[in-house]
Amino acid sequence: MLRTTQKTVVFERPFLLPRLGKMQPPGAYTIETDEELMPPVMTPVYRRVSTYIYLHEVPGDDRITGVANIDPDELDAALARDLLPPTELM
């Protein structure tokens, strides 16, 4: 059994995810994660299968221009960098 969850993340500044290969504009991005149900146990356990980000080229424009499979750890790291004051990014 496969389940899909969605969340929205917001970047205040341009960001880079290694798998995307280029800087992305700031803005809100939809993140979709697919998980599969592991073999029956007492409590349902899901394993992440894939994570996708829905891309747009223009800040503030909600039109989707692409979808990319990403590493969720790289996404978390990019979000953490986005929270740093600009002086700490250098």
Per-residue pLDDT tens over the stretch 30-56: 999 999 998 887 888 889 999 999 998
Average pLDDT over residues 73-84: 94
Q: How far apart are CA 70 and CA 84, in angstroms?
A: 22
pTM of the model: 0.82
Q: How far apart are CA 16 and CA 12, in angstroms?
A: 13
More confident position, 80 or 57 = 80
Round to the nearest angstrom and report the end-to-end CA distance of the chain. 45
